[in-house]
Structure 1
Amino acid sequence: MKTPSCTLLAEVRAFRQKHPDVRYVDLIALDIPGHFYGKRYPVEMLEKVAAGSPLKLPQNAVLLGVQGGLFKIGDYCFNDGDPDANRRLVPGTLKPVSWESQPLGQMLITSDGTDAPIEFEPREVLARVLQRLQRKGIHPVVAFELEFYLFDKKLANGLPQFPRDPLSDDADDQPNLHIERLSRFSAVLDDMAQTARDQGIDSTVITAEIGPGQFEINFGHSDDALRAADWAALFCRSTRGVALKHGYRASFMAKPYLQFPGSGMHVHVSLYDGAGNNLLAAHQQQPLRHAVAGCLQLLPHCMPIFAPNHNALRRLGGTVNAATRASWGFEDRDACLRIPESDPRNLRIEHRLASADANPYLVLAAILAGLEHGLETRQEPIAPLNDDRSSGTDFPVEMLDAVRAMQHHTVVRDTLGAEFVDVYCENKRQDHLAFQQEINAREYRWFL
C-alpha cells in the first residue's frame, strides 16, 4: 500500500507550481466520531514529508469524543503516555481549499499502510476489510449518497432557522421536492458541487429533498472503495465551508427537525470477481440473497456505527423512508436494504440505514462485513417487504443497548477487529453518558 516517495514528491511539487500562493496545507484524518483532526503544515515542510521524512501525530487523536475530549478507554489516553503514531500521505488528495479567506491546501493522511497502523483508526478498519475481501477475489464497487440541511447562518436562541430564499428573502419553510428549489439555491449548490469536483470527488446528481432546506448530492460509483469513503468524508468538510461562504450553515445532523425527515447516508455496493463479473448476479441471483441475509444478521449488532449518537437514533422510524426494523425489498425505500432495479451487470444493494453524520469508513466496513458474512454462511434472508409488509427483525434503538449488542458479537469482532470494537463501543458509551450530564429546559419544565 506504500506509495513511492517520488510519486508523492511529484504531486506536491506540481501542486506548488499550480498554486504558488498557497503557504500552508492542512493534513487531516477522520477520528472515530467522524470529525477531522490534523496539523497545518508549511508547504515546504510537506515536500520533506513527501520525500520520506516521518509524519507523526498522537495516536489518541483518533479517540476523541464528539465534543473533542478524551475518554479513558482501557489503557489508552491516560495510562499509555500519549504516544505518537506514524501517518502517511494519501496520494491524489492534495487539493486547494477554496472556501477559506486565505489560500490553503488540504491532504488526507492515514495510518493504514504504515509499519504499525492504528487498529482502531476508521480508515484502517475499512482497509483491513478490503484486504481480506481482495484475498478472497472479491472487489467492491461503491457509491455514496449524502443528504444534508441548509440553515440560516444565524441561530435563534441556539436553534437552527430555515434558510432564506435568495430570491424572495422568505424562509424556505415548505417541505417539497420541487425542482425550483434547486434554482433558488443554485449559487450555493453549484459551488458545493464544483468545490467537490475540485477536491477530486466525482459528484453527480443534486436533488431537492422533502425537508425544508434539505438536499442530496450523489457521487459516482468507484472501484476504489477507500477512495469512495474518502470522497464522502471530504464532501462533508467542503460543503460546510462553502455554505458558510454563502451565508448559510450546512449540517449533516441526522434529525435536526422532529417533524421533518432526517438525513441519511445511502451506500450502493456491488461485488465483482477478478474478471469483472458481478458476483451478486450469479446463479439466478442466489448470492444476492445470501449477501442480504448476512447484512440483515449483522445489522442489529452494528447500530452504533449506523446511528452513532443520540440524535441519529431519533431518525429511525416515524417519517418518510426511514426503516424501523432490519428489512429488505426490491425497489422499496422503506427497507434498510433496497435492491434497485438494474441489469445483471449493475446489480447492487443500497444500504439506507446509516445517518448522514455517521463515519463513512466504518459504515462501509460494516456493510462489507455483512455481505462477506452472508456469502460465506449462505443462508436465506427473511421475506422481502414486497411479499410481506411486516417482515423484518428488531434492532436496538437505545445507545447503551446498541453498544452491548455490538461489543460481544463474535462475527462483528472477528470481521471488524476486536480491538476496534472494544475501543469504539467504549467511546460511544462515554459519549452517551457525557450527553446525559446536561439538564435541558424541558427537564426543568417537567420536574421543577
Structure 2
Amino acid sequence: MKSQASTLLAEVRTFRQNHPDVRYVDLIALDIPGHFYGKRYPIEMLEKVAAGSPLKLPQNAVLLGAQGGLFKIGDYCFHDGDPDANRRLVPGTLKPVSWESQPLGQMLITSDGTEAPIEFEPREVLAKVLERLHHKGIHPVVAFELEFYLFDKKLDNGLPQFARDPLSGDADDQPNLHIERLSRFSEVLDDMAQTAKDQGIDITVITAELGPGQFEINFGHLDDGLRAADWAALFCRSTRGVALKHGYRASFMAKPYLQFPGSGMHVHVSLYDGAGNNVLAAHQQQPLRHAVAGCLELLPHCMPIFSPNHNAFRRLGGTVNAATRASWGFEDRDACVRIPDSDPRNLRIEHRLASADANPYLVLAAILVGLEHGLETKREPIAPLNEDRSSGTDFPVEMLDAVRTMQHQPVLRDKLGAEFIDVYCENKRQDHLAFQQEIHAREYRWFL
C-alpha cells in the first residue's frame, strides 16, 4: 500500500508540474448503464487522496438508471441508508482534459482493490473474472473496436441531423466506405485520435463506415483486460467532448437510424498461458472450438449486457453484418463470433454482437466467462456459417425476455456473481419499464 501511495503521489505531483494551470480534476467511474459519475476535486485535495486520505462516494451511484434516477433494487437505494463506499485512484489514468473551456484533469476511480469492493460495480465484476483466469494460468489479450456516428450539433425537434461535410457544407447523407470521407472529416477525427492518445489510449486504425457520418476506431491489443476496457470507456467520453468542440455531436447509440447500420462494439480476445503460448491454438485448435461453444452457449443469457437498452435491440438483424442468431464462422462478419484469419500466435475470437453503447467492462467480462466455460466443458460448437448458412441458436430480442433468460442462469450467477446478476437484471428491468411510461405521438396517430 505504501508503494502504491508513493507511485500515485508521484503521478499527481508530476501532473501538477506539467499542467500548472489545472485547478480541478474529475474523479470518474462507470456506472451500470455505462455513464460516468464522480466528483470534481481541487488538485491539492487529490494530492492528499494520493497520499492515503480516504476517497468515498455513495455506493448507490453505481446503480443509477439510464436517465440518472435511482430504482428500488432489493434493499439498495431506499432501505440501506445510502451508504458511502471506498474508492481508490487508478494509477496511470491522471490525464489532462483538452475539450473543456477551462483547463481540467480527469482520473479513473474504482472500488476494486479496496477492502470492500462493490460487488455490482462493472470494473469490479471484470476484475474478479480476470483474477480467476490468472489463477488458472490463463492470460487474455484484448482489443476493442468502437463504431460511432457524427451528427450536426443542432437537433431538429429532438431528432439527429446528418453531420455537415466540412468541404461542401452539405449533409453527409451518402452512406459509403470511401476513404475521402476520412479526409473531409479529418480535422475532427484527427483531434479525436490525438486526444485519445493524450489520454494514454493506443489508437490504431480509423475507418469510414457504411452509415452517413459513421466511423470506427480500433485500439491496440493489451495484455491488461481492465486497461483495455478503461480505454474503451475513456474514448467514449473524450470523443463526445471533442465532437462538441468542433460543432458536432458524437454518439455511440446503437441504432440512431432505422435505414442505416447500427454501431457495434467489437472485441478481439486471445488467451495465453504463463509461457506465452496461445491456448486457443493448441491441439489443432481444439480449445478454440471449445471456447466458441462456451461463448455461444452463454450468449443468449448475456443479451442484457450486449444489448443494454431498448434501442440496442433495434440493431439486431436486418442490416449489414448484424447477427440475428448466436453463430460463429471463419472470416464471416455475419457471425456473432468471428474467427479472423491469423497465424497460430495471434489466433483469436472477435465477438461482434455488443452494441457500441454497451458497458465495456461487462461486455468483456461476459465474453471471458463464455470462453472460460467452453474451455471447462470441452463441448463441440454448432456448425460454422461457412459450412451451414442457417446455423445458429436463437437469443432474446426484447429486454424483459432477455432479463428473464439471464437472471437464473447458473453459470453466470457463479462466474459473474449472483449479487451482480440480480442487481443488473433489476436495473435493466426498471429502466425498460420507465422507458415505456411515455406515450409516443405515433400511438395517438394509430389509436386515438
Whether TM exceeds 0.5 here: the answer is yes
3-state DSSP class of the match of 2:39?
strand
What CA distance in whole angstroms lies between the structure 2 residues aligned with 1:423 and 1:2? 34
What CA distance in whole angstroms lies between the structure 2 residues aligned with 1:163 and 1:192? 16
What CA distance in whole angstroms lies between the structure 2 residues aligned with 1:2 and 1:434? 46
Tell me by how many angstroms 1:4 deviates.
1.4
What CA distance in whole angstroms lies between the structure 1 residues aligned with 2:191 and 2:21? 21
Question: Could you list the per-position Cα deviations for residues 105-141 of structure 1 after superposition, in whole angstroms to 9, with x for gaps in the alignment?
Answer: 0000000000000000000000000000000000000
What CA distance in whole angstroms lies between the structure 1 residues aligned with 2:207 and 2:15? 33
Tell me by how many angstroms 1:171 deviates.
0.3
Tell me by how many angstroms 1:3 deviates.
6.1
Question: Could you list the per-position Cα deviations for residues 7-49 of structure 1 after superposition, in whole angstroms to 9, with x for gaps in the alignment?
Answer: 0000000000000000000000000000000000000000000
3-state DSSP class of the match of 1:302?
helix
What CA distance in whole angstroms lies between the structure 2 residues aligned with 1:193 and 1:243? 11
Contact persistence 1:317–1:324 (CA under 8 A): yes
What CA distance in whole angstroms lies between the structure 2 residues aligned with 1:3 and 1:171? 54
3-state DSSP class of the match of 1:217?
strand
Contact persistence 1:88–1:111 (CA under 8 A): yes
3-state DSSP class of the match of 2:438?
coil
3-state DSSP class of the match of 1:132?
helix
What CA distance in whole angstroms lies between the structure 1 residues aligned with 2:4 and 2:194? 30
Q: TM-score, normalised by structure 2?
A: 1.00
What CA distance in whole angstroms lies between the structure 2 residues aligned with 1:339 and 1:10? 43
Question: Could you list the per-position Cα deviations for residues 367-389 of structure 1 after superposition, in whole angstroms to 9, with x for gaps in the alignment?
Answer: 00000000000000000000000
Q: Counterpart in 1 of 2:9?
A: 9
3-state DSSP class of the match of 1:39?
strand
What CA distance in whole angstroms lies between the structure 2 residues aligned with 1:146 and 1:16? 32
What CA distance in whole angstroms lies between the structure 2 residues aligned with 1:277 and 1:382? 26
Question: Could you list the per-position Cα deviations for residues 245-294 of structure 1 after superposition, in whole angstroms to 9, with x for gaps in the alignment?
Answer: 00000000000000000000000000000010000000000000000000
What CA distance in whole angstroms lies between the structure 2 residues aligned with 1:109 and 1:203? 23
3-state DSSP class of the match of 2:69?
coil
What CA distance in whole angstroms lies between the structure 2 residues aligned with 1:376 and 1:428? 30
Distance 1:129 1:45, change over 3 A: same
| Number of matched pairs | 448
Q: Counterpart in 2 of 1:209?
A: 209
Contact persistence 1:2–1:114 (CA under 8 A): no
What CA distance in whole angstroms lies between the structure 1 residues aligned with 2:167 and 2:213? 14
> Within 5 A, what are the aligned runs for 1:34-113?
34-113=34-113
Contact persistence 1:144–1:219 (CA under 8 A): yes
3-state DSSP class of the match of 2:233?
helix
Distance 1:2 1:282, change over 3 A: farther
Contact persistence 1:253–1:263 (CA under 8 A): yes
Question: Could you list the per-position Cα deviations for residues 288-330 of structure 1 after superposition, in whole angstroms to 9, with x for gaps in the alignment?
Answer: 0000000000000000000000000000000000000000000
Contact persistence 1:2–1:113 (CA under 8 A): no
Question: Could you list the per-position Cα deviations for residues 175-220 of structure 1 after superposition, in whole angstroms to 9, with x for gaps in the alignment?
Answer: 0000000000000000000000000000110000000000000000
What CA distance in whole angstroms lies between the structure 2 residues aligned with 1:185 and 1:297? 41
Question: Could you list the per-position Cα deviations for residues 333-367 of structure 1 after superposition, in whole angstroms to 9, with x for gaps in the alignment?
Answer: 00000000000000000000000000000000000
Contact persistence 1:325–1:393 (CA under 8 A): yes
3-state DSSP class of the match of 1:78?
coil
What CA distance in whole angstroms lies between the structure 1 residues aligned with 2:356 and 2:439? 27
The gaps in structure 2 that reach 5 residues or longer are: none
Q: Once the two structures are aligned, what percentage of the paired residues are identical?
A: 91
3-state DSSP class of the match of 2:2?
coil
Distance 1:3 1:436, change over 3 A: farther
What CA distance in whole angstroms lies between the structure 1 residues aligned with 2:206 and 2:232? 15
What CA distance in whole angstroms lies between the structure 2 residues aligned with 1:193 and 1:343? 29
Tell me by how many angstroms 1:2 deviates.
9.0
What CA distance in whole angstroms lies between the structure 2 residues aligned with 1:204 and 1:101? 28
Distance 1:3 1:57, change over 3 A: farther
3-state DSSP class of the match of 1:266?
strand
What CA distance in whole angstroms lies between the structure 1 residues aligned with 2:441 and 2:194? 42
What CA distance in whole angstroms lies between the structure 1 residues aligned with 2:410 and 2:3? 34
